[in-house]
Every structure is written in C-alpha cells, then in structure tokens.
Structure 1
Amino acid sequence: MSASLEIDDDRDTLRFERTIAHAPERVWKAVTHPAQLAHWFLAAVACEPRVGAAMEFDFGGEQGLDVYPGEVLELDPPRVFAFAWAEDVLRF
C-alpha cells in the first residue's frame, strides 16, 4: 500500500493505493453494492448506482441523528466510483 497527501488551498487530498488480489468485478461489488459495503464500511449505505443519485449513510444512531446524505458523483464500472459524503469526496 502507498499513501500520499496533497495540500491545496481549496481541498486537501489524501490518497491511498492498494493492490487487491481479487478480480476487478469482485472488488467493484465490494465498493458499490450496499449489501457488500455492510461488510467493511462503518455505516449502512443506501444508494442507486447512477450519477446524481442520492445516497444515505446510516451510522445507527437513535432517532436518525446519525444519518448523513451523499451523492454519486462519478461512475465508470468497474474502474471508478466517486461520491460526496458530508464535505468530503471519496473515490474508489
């Protein structure tokens, strides 16, 4: 695994690159399918795989207080899945 940090006036970028010993299709499912995300992501994720679709990240708090919105920003199966989450952008 490698890691780097780019500091910019507008947005800092933290990048991790990792080689995973699985077929691209399997990795794609792990980062884009809500049932697969549940195995490793900290929140339950609800989303539709299309650019512009709303996302919901539920961290299981009482009365929905730990539910945060997101949006699918980029989708290029099986290469890129990017989404907004609060003020951050995550890109796989």
Structure 2
Amino acid sequence: MSETRTVVVEREIPHPPEKIWRAPTQPHLIAEWLMQNDFKAAVGHRFNLRGNWGGVLDCEVLAVEPNRTLSYTWNFAHDDAAFNLQSVVAFTLTPTPTRTHLRMEQSGFRPEQKQAFGGAKAGWQQFFANLEQVLARTD
C-alpha cells in the first residue's frame, strides 16, 4: 500500500468543548461554516456534504464521542480517477484551563493527489476561519 498524506489544522479556541462540539455536529451550523449537509451524529449514518462549487462528498460517521471526538469518511468521486478522494476527517477537542484545543486531521491523500492535498490545506484554513466566526456569534 502506498503512503498517504494528512492535512492537520489546529486552533486554540476561547470556548468550552460543549459549545464547539455543536458546530461540527448540528446540521444548520455545519452549513454555516463548512457545507450544506444531512448530517446526524450517529455512527454508521451516511450523509452528503454539498459544496457551493457543485461537488458532493459522500460521507459516513465513523466515531462519535460527544464533546471529544468526531470522525467520518470524506469521499469524492470524479470522472477523472486521479481526482477521486477517499479520506477520513477527524475532529478532536481537548479542554485547556481557559480554552479548547481543536484539531482537525484529514488523512488519506495519495502522493499523486497534490492538487487535492493543496486544496484541502487551503480549504480547511478557510473553513476554520468560518467556524470561529460562527462560534463567536452563537450562544
């Protein structure tokens, strides 16, 4: 099996894990910072993320540990096999004395998927900026 690459984004966010947890697990909030979706925080639930670029990601929830971890598949099928992506996105929330450390890891990029890897690196930075804005305005 060939070696794959991983995108990691980490942030220290000035909110408790319980508040941050809602953003990646409540469909209306996911739509505000990530993409339109039919997400449910239940292991085995299959859902779609629909990008404003017209693409649809096929996903399945792999793990849910409330206020701690969430992971799901992030698969994109394309007519050109070089653009097919089968990856896993995992969020980990770790409380600190005054904040929460949020880590997102997207793994599974094949070495030849340089464009997808670069797009994910840039995309997740923007998604996290959107996430922080959503958290700032929600109670």
Q: Give yes or no for TM over 0.5.
A: yes
Please give the per-residue CA displacement for 1:5-62, whole angstroms capped at 9, x wherever unaligned: xxxx332122222111011111000111111111211x2011221111101112256x
SS at match of 1:28: helix
Moved over 6 A (4+): none
* CA distance, structure 2, for counterparts of residue 47 and residue 29 of structure 1: 12
- The residue number in structure 2 matching 1:90 is 89
Larger radius of gyration: 2
* CA distance, structure 1, for counterparts of residue 57 and residue 6 of structure 2: 21
> Is residue 13 from structure 1 mapped to residue 13 from structure 2 by the alignment?
no
* CA distance, structure 2, for counterparts of residue 72 and residue 14 of structure 1: 19
> Is residue 49 from structure 1 mapped to residue 41 from structure 2 by the alignment?
yes
SS at match of 1:52: coil
Could you say what the CA RMSD is over the residues aligned between the two structures, in angstroms?
A: 1.9
TM-score normalised by the chain length of structure 1: 0.76
Match of 1:71 among 60, 83, 86: 60
Kindly indicate whether the alpha-carbon contact (under 8 Å) linking 1:57 and 1:68 is maintained by their aligned counterparts in 2: yes
Question: Where does structure 2 lack aligned partners over 5 or more consecutive residues?
Answer: 76-85, 92-139
- The residue number in structure 2 matching 1:4 is none
Count of residues in Structure 1 that have an aligned counterpart in Structure 2: 81
SS at match of 1:38: helix
* CA distance, structure 1, for counterparts of residue 11 and residue 56 of structure 2: 29
TM-score normalised by the chain length of structure 2: 0.52
> Is residue 58 from structure 1 mapped to residue 53 from structure 2 by the alignment?
no
Bigger proportion of residues as helix: 2
Identity of matched residues, %: 30
Question: Where does structure 1 lack aligned partners over 5 or more consecutive residues?
Answer: 1-8
* CA distance, structure 1, for counterparts of residue 9 and residue 57 of structure 2: 24
Q: Which amino acid aligns with 1:56?
A: N
